[in-house]
Structure 1
Amino acid sequence: MIVFATLLGTTMATPVLAAGAAGEAGLDSAAATDIVVTASRIPLEPRQVGSALTIVTGKELKRAQTLFIKDALQDLAGVQITSDRPGDQVNVSIRGSDNNQVLWMIDGVRMGDPSLISTEFQSDNMITADIGRVEVLRGNQSSLYGSDAIGGVINIVTQRATEDGIRLSAEAEGGSYGTVSGGASILGKSGPLDFRLTATGYSHDGPSAADPLTAPAGAATEQDRYWRYGLSGRVGLALTDTLSVQALGFWQKARTDFDNDSDFDNIPDDTNDVARKREYAVAVKADYLSLDKRLRADATISRFATNRLYFGPFNDPSVGDVFKGTKDAANVNVGYDGGIWSVALGGSLEREKTDQTTFFSGTFAQRIDTKAIYGEVALHPVENLTLTGAARVDDNSRFGTFDTYRGTIAYVVPGIGGADSVKFRASYGSGAKAPGLYQLFDPSFGNPNLKAQTSEGGDAGVDILFDRFTAQISYFFNRTKNKIGFEDLGGFNFKYAQFDRAREQGVEVAFTLKPVDGVEVNQSFTYLDAKKSDNGGLFVDIGRPRHSGSTAVTWTPVEPLTLTARARYRSRNANSFGGVTAPYAVVDLLAAYRVNDRIELYGRIVNLLDKPYQMTFGTNALDRAAYGGVRVRY
């Protein structure tokens, strides 16, 4: 999907300390005064953040040559994805969460499709173009962001011009499976006005989405094509020294051939299923910051809308199954910095609507409104110690209110290996996830009596930042109840019901090591124990790999040339819908050569050893493939 900017890859999660946010693929650090947007409604320096947070900078993203953001996310500790195939439906899990328990934002604007089974953001088509940085916040965040944030928050912050002038950039790539990809951006600033406009496109011709290893005999021969294209941009204007406004948005269109499970044996085989999708987002924002930097306020009005069409043997044969969803939102936030204390207050209004026509369920149109208020306090009682507490109340027009809370602590140990190089942190809080409109009102399967899912969880860890070594280590746990699942009423009659429980716990480890000049080692690893219980039964595996990780070694033999060897690996995984994926390790080689300050050539070989593997049971991953491209800027 086209987003407001570009994400071109990363390799692992690293800590956030006062020296800045060192991203996965290197030790490029932000300034000590950088503000973390996502971790708190109160502007905090990285050293003051008590949550597990990864910041990936734009420079670090380009090195891994990743066209789709989901491939960058799989290299972050604590984050797992279900498919690395371009355009394939992907679920993003943070610490074992479901995809609908992860909140996505772009420049602080909430994304989410109300026409899906449960309101969530599908990042299948999110291609990379001009991202300034990505902030991945792990753990319960509902006290700050309401529903959808049980697992965590992914906030994409797009590039903005900070110096007068105009900058042009373009990129083109081609390779295996008839892959063609490209894009161009114009970004500029003139006095109080800044702007950006980006156009991108991508297509490939296969291979089959159903894996020949598990598909029925003679199946998995159809080549499943995928394409997408879109536009995105933003424009900002500083009205005064204290007041600024901006407008931003994107539009995109995509088409995917995919293989369905036509005989209900939980194994995809060749079908003629096709999905078409259009989506857009628009937002207008106003920001106020007093001259003494103590009082700040912001207001946002936004809309996110999708239109999905499905064609296949289980869909309407004439016009396809139609799913339309719209999320409208208005948010106001006010904060004040009192020195050793800071406070923030805010509220939001949100309306979700869907209009659906399907072969199985017929037609229905529904909407739901949510009002919310929140408050947060940050205290700095002594030097190097930061405490935060937050609470929120959401009032839903269909099933009443639910409240959430969160507390964090961060302490930077002075004098160990240099200033602010070791931080201990911990957090604990509750989360909530509202049922989706489909779950509530679908004529065949809906249950209007559903309530919000609730959870409680926390983490404890340490962040380390030295000149040649950075690390982040966390232990985490979460418990969710009132999860929504299918209840079998007999006679092929199913209804959504609330009886499931889930519990997740594990350890995240990530580090970056530069043993000598010109060599860099990046490592991420996640141990995850994720289980669920249906209708009061025993806890069983929820369908997440217990072990996953990524290792990358980058060598710069001469300044213009960069070489990287990367391995991604996962343990076996028992899919919750049947089938078991085998453990695997996939090796990639990447190279980039900077011709001059304006031109860079790059290429990569993916799955160098031609390893057969599946991230989701029955779904085909790419064989050995080669790609090459060029980046130009002026």
Structure 2
Amino acid sequence: MKRLLATASALVLGTGAATAQQYLELGTIVVSANQTETEADRVGATVDVLDEYDLGRSTGPELVDTLTRLPGITASANGGVGTATTLRIRGLGSGYVSTRINGIDVTDPTEIKQSYNWGGLTAAGLSRVEVLKGSQSALYGSSAIAGVVNIFTWRPTSEGISYRFSGEAGSYGTASVSGSVGYLSDRAELALTMTRLHTDGFSAADENDGNTERDGFDGKTIYFSGSYALTDQVRVGFDMIYEEHEADIDGYSMFPPYGLIDTPDKNFTDRKGGRIFATFDGDNVSHELEASYFKTTRYDPNGYTQRFEGMRKGARYTGTVRPSFGTLVFGAEYAEEKARLDSDKSRSDTASVFGEAQFGLSDNLDLTTSLRVDRHSEFGTEPTGRIALAWRPDQAWTIRSAIATGFRAPSLYELFDPTYGNDTLKPEKSRSFELGAEREFSNGGLIAATLFYTRINDLIDWDSGRYIQVPGTTTTRGIEFSSEFPLGERVTFLGNYTYTRARTAAGDQLSRVPEHDLLLGLRASLTNRLDGQVFVNHVADRVDTGPMPDYTVVNAGLSFDLTPASQIYLRVDNLTDRQYQTARGYGTSDRAFYAGIRADF
């Protein structure tokens, strides 16, 4: 459901704040906003949660389509499924968003701004997504200026062997299938998920500009996780991910009138990563050791640079002490990154120490302070911190506030590219502040509002043939509203609105960031077995090399319970067949129909 922090169905899954794989209590949701699991109403920072219910009722073929239902989250894509897709949190793009799958940092070290390409990632095989907003470098290090997206894959929730299956087919020659198998006992857990997605697609360059060639996509994904309790106090485990994507893309005309045109270009991407960990949980002290590895390979046979290889290796120790007055966390981390662009090679490493103190100042007031110091091999030391406060004046209200600093280290490309790089670059630095209030009602309704502000100094940008530090301050500020109310016994209203004022140091509006983003939705239990939903999304006041038209898109769906553990469903994307663009010159889906089935065994 679309909510700020809320109660959902009980799950057993991994949710470590920075990277730790832990196990949750059944019942009240805890989130990854601190270095340890924390009850939702004790978190001072803003966190949005998508659970299995939400992910199973997506409003598009990719996960990003569901994420954009959350307040403060927008996206733009260079075409259809699998093309370059940017996720923005409060106006700041993927280069400022730390992204992790099962605790593995999946951002690409070879990107101009180290980031994750959201194109091609579906909700299949996922159980939970948490979006932590605001500068979070005190927890996650570099690139977490806008926030963090933590993605958790499916895990078994009942003892013995269990299975999950889903399949979907629809417009544009689209077909997808996902299968999961898991095992759970009092000591062991295993989970394996395999997904496959194919679509013939539509033209990445907008068909309304005369482009008719279809740009398709093929994607394969494997998630594999497991853990075993050696004793009542010691647990060891692993996580593995593998992604293989092949996407058709379009290019630019080198001749007048220039612009995007149909081309036969393709882009190939492989991602693979792994993580091993060991935890020791005592009565008042716990320890965790982990090591991780991630590699991404991109091949663009038509590009100026054709082959991109990025690698990240890391190790981390986290200790937790639980004295009578709260929780103290301390630890250290090391990461090495390498990039190879054709024959050009580069590397950097970062050593970090961190600490956090969580205090229950009273039964209804919680304070969390976090501090981290990163030492980068190129630019030296960068300290960051965060103070977060959660106050519950009564059972209905929660007041949250957080102030934090963050940084984004210059990427290997920005530092060392032989043509455009600049090895004198320093990190971009940020400060963020937020103040929010949440009110729950006895009928299950919820309303929340959050004021936010982020400023970035020493912005890195391209100018006069190389990357430089831009004088001045880039700012994003605004307000998020989120609500959910039952309208009788069978109908629920959902809505949110975000106003974002995002400006460069020169006073220009940040590209592709809407000032106004409104979403209204209804969910209804039409019968005891038939559910329906409809969402209306209105986006206004954007620029992308000039003003962009406003647009309104309607998505709808029906689901029917065959059994308590299986469903069939119908989804209609862009119900009114609206012609619009999220990035200038690039196409979006016309009205499209999809039907599918999902089942647990």
TM over 0.5: yes
Task: Please state how far the C-alpha of 1:519 moved relative to its aligned partner.
Answer: 0.5
Higher RCO by CA contacts (8 Å cutoff, separation 6 or greater): 1
Q: Separation in 2 of the partners of 1:429 and 1:177?
A: 45
- State yes or no: 1:528 paired with 2:528: no
- Compared with structure 1, are the counterparts of its residues 266 and 296 closer, same or farther at alpha carbon in structure 2 (3 Å cutoff)? farther
- Compared with structure 1, are the counterparts of its residues 482 and 584 closer, same or farther at alpha carbon in structure 2 (3 Å cutoff)? same
Counting matched residue pairs gives: 585
- Compared with structure 1, are the counterparts of its residues 197 and 275 closer, same or farther at alpha carbon in structure 2 (3 Å cutoff)? same
Q: Separation in 1 of the partners of 2:217 and 2:592?
A: 17
Task: Please state how far the C-alpha of 1:97 moved relative to its aligned partner.
Answer: 1.1
- What residue in structure 2 maps to residue 273 of structure 1? 265
Please list the CA deviations of residues 238-295 of structure 1 after superposition, one character each: whole Å capped at 9, or x if unmatched. Answer: 11111111111111211111112233978422122210011111110112221x3x32
Please list the CA deviations of residues 579-598 of structure 1 after superposition, one character each: whole Å capped at 9, or x if unmatched. Answer: 43211111122000011134
- State yes or no: 1:60 paired with 2:50: no
- What residue in structure 2 maps to residue 315 of structure 1? 304
Q: Separation in 2 of the partners of 1:426 and 1:311?
A: 48
- What residue in structure 1 maps to residue 105 of structure 2? 110
Matching residue within 361, 374, 389 for 1:381: 361
Please list the CA deviations of residues 456-491 of structure 1 after superposition, one character each: whole Å capped at 9, or x if unmatched. Answer: 111001122223211221000011011110111xxx
- State yes or no: 1:284 paired with 2:279: no
- The amino acid of 2:498's aligned partner reads T
Matching residue within 402, 406, 430 for 2:382: 402
- What residue in structure 2 maps to residue 508 of structure 1? 480
Task: Please state how far the C-alpha of 1:58 moved relative to its aligned partner.
Answer: 1.1
Q: Separation in 1 of the partners of 2:27 and 2:367?
A: 19
- Compared with structure 1, are the counterparts of its residues 65 and 593 closer, same or farther at alpha carbon in structure 2 (3 Å cutoff)? farther
Q: Separation in 2 of the partners of 1:588 and 1:621?
A: 14
Q: Separation in 2 of the partners of 1:69 and 1:482?
A: 32
Matching residue within 219, 224, 228 for 2:219: 228
- What residue in structure 1 maps to residue 181 of structure 2? 186
Matching residue within 561, 568, 571 for 1:601: 568
Task: Please state how far the C-alpha of 1:33 moved relative to its aligned partner.
Answer: 4.8
Give yes or no for contact 2:509–2:543 (8 Å, CA) kept in 1.
Answer: no
- What residue in structure 2 maps to residue 498 of structure 1? 469
- Compared with structure 1, are the counterparts of its residues 421 and 107 closer, same or farther at alpha carbon in structure 2 (3 Å cutoff)? farther
- What residue in structure 1 maps to residue 460 of structure 2? 484
Task: Please state how far the C-alpha of 1:65 moved relative to its aligned partner.
Answer: 5.6
Task: Please state how far the C-alpha of 1:157 moved relative to its aligned partner.
Answer: 2.3
Matching residue within 582, 586, 595 for 1:619: 586
Give yes or no for contact 1:77–1:510 (8 Å, CA) kept in 2.
Answer: yes
- What residue in structure 2 maps to residue 301 of structure 1? 291
TM-score, normalization by structure 1 = 0.89
Q: Separation in 2 of the partners of 1:350 and 1:545?
A: 35
- What residue in structure 1 maps to residue 520 of structure 2? 551
- State yes or no: 1:356 paired with 2:341: yes
- Compared with structure 1, are the counterparts of its residues 235 and 266 closer, same or farther at alpha carbon in structure 2 (3 Å cutoff)? farther
Give yes or no for contact 1:102–1:152 (8 Å, CA) kept in 2.
Answer: yes
Task: Please state how far the C-alpha of 1:538 moved relative to its aligned partner.
Answer: 4.1
- The amino acid of 1:344's aligned partner reads V
Matching residue within 333, 336, 347 for 1:367: 347
Task: Please state how far the C-alpha of 1:352 moved relative to its aligned partner.
Answer: 0.4
Matching residue within 534, 538, 541 for 1:565: 534
- The amino acid of 1:372's aligned partner reads S
Give yes or no for contact 2:162–2:600 (8 Å, CA) kept in 1.
Answer: yes
- Compared with structure 1, are the counterparts of its residues 566 and 94 closer, same or farther at alpha carbon in structure 2 (3 Å cutoff)? same
- What residue in structure 1 maps to residue 127 of structure 2? 132
- The amino acid of 1:448's aligned partner reads D
Spell out the pairing of 1:213-224 with structure 2 (5 A cutoff): 213=208, 215=209, 219-224=210-215
Task: Please state how far the C-alpha of 1:137 moved relative to its aligned partner.
Answer: 0.6
Give yes or no for contact 1:591–1:603 (8 Å, CA) kept in 2.
Answer: yes
Give yes or no for contact 2:191–2:225 (8 Å, CA) kept in 1.
Answer: yes
Give yes or no for contact 2:80–2:202 (8 Å, CA) kept in 1.
Answer: no
Task: Please state how far the C-alpha of 1:43 moved relative to its aligned partner.
Answer: 3.1
Give yes or no for contact 1:140–1:150 (8 Å, CA) kept in 2.
Answer: yes
| DSSP 3-state at the match of 2:222 | strand
- State yes or no: 1:446 paired with 2:418: no
Q: Indicate the percent of aligned positions where both proteins have the same amino acid.
A: 27
- The amino acid of 1:308's aligned partner reads R
Please list the CA deviations of residues 400-439 of structure 1 after superposition, one character each: whole Å capped at 9, or x if unmatched. Answer: 111111101110012xxxxx32101111010000000011
Give yes or no for contact 1:531–1:542 (8 Å, CA) kept in 2.
Answer: no
Please list the CA deviations of residues 348-386 of structure 1 after superposition, one character each: whole Å capped at 9, or x if unmatched. Answer: 0000001111xxxxx310110000001111112222101
Please list the CA deviations of residues 83-107 of structure 1 after superposition, one character each: whole Å capped at 9, or x if unmatched. Answer: 3832121111111112111011122
| DSSP 3-state at the match of 1:82 | strand
Give yes or no for contact 2:317–2:333 (8 Å, CA) kept in 1.
Answer: yes
- The amino acid of 2:220's aligned partner reads Y
Matching residue within 312, 315, 318 for 1:327: 312
- Compared with structure 1, are the counterparts of its residues 104 and 599 closer, same or farther at alpha carbon in structure 2 (3 Å cutoff)? same
Task: Please state how far the C-alpha of 1:111 moved relative to its aligned partner.
Answer: 2.1
- What residue in structure 2 maps to residue 463 of structure 1? 438
| DSSP 3-state at the match of 1:47 | helix
| DSSP 3-state at the match of 2:415 | helix
- Compared with structure 1, are the counterparts of its residues 611 and 67 closer, same or farther at alpha carbon in structure 2 (3 Å cutoff)? closer
Matching residue within 66, 91, 101 for 1:72: 66
Q: Separation in 2 of the partners of 1:123 and 1:19?
A: 27
Please list the CA deviations of residues 101-128 of structure 1 after superposition, one character each: whole Å capped at 9, or x if unmatched. Answer: 1011122232221111122222212122
Greater alpha carbon shift after TM alignment, 247-256 vs 259-268: 259-268
Matching residue within 332, 336, 359 for 1:347: 332
- What residue in structure 2 maps to residue 417 of structure 1? none
- Compared with structure 1, are the counterparts of its residues 65 and 548 closer, same or farther at alpha carbon in structure 2 (3 Å cutoff)? closer
Task: Please state how far the C-alpha of 1:34 moved relative to its aligned partner.
Answer: 3.8
Matching residue within 210, 228, 234 for 1:237: 228
Q: Separation in 2 of the partners of 1:626 and 1:273?
A: 27
Give yes or no for contact 2:125–2:178 (8 Å, CA) kept in 1.
Answer: no
Give yes or no for contact 2:390–2:399 (8 Å, CA) kept in 1.
Answer: yes
Q: Separation in 2 of the partners of 1:34 and 1:383?
A: 18
Unaligned runs of 5+ in 2: 12-23
Q: Separation in 1 of the partners of 2:555 and 2:258?
A: 30
TM-score, normalization by structure 2 = 0.93
Give yes or no for contact 2:331–2:354 (8 Å, CA) kept in 1.
Answer: yes
Q: Separation in 2 of the partners of 1:181 and 1:65?
A: 15
Matching residue within 71, 86, 94 for 2:89: 94
Q: Separation in 1 of the partners of 2:27 and 2:43?
A: 13
Give yes or no for contact 1:18–1:47 (8 Å, CA) kept in 2.
Answer: no
Please list the CA deviations of residues 217-241 of structure 1 after superposition, one character each: whole Å capped at 9, or x if unmatched. Answer: xx41211111111211111111111
Greater alpha carbon shift after TM alignment, 506-515 vs 60-69: 60-69
- What residue in structure 2 maps to residue 250 of structure 1? 241
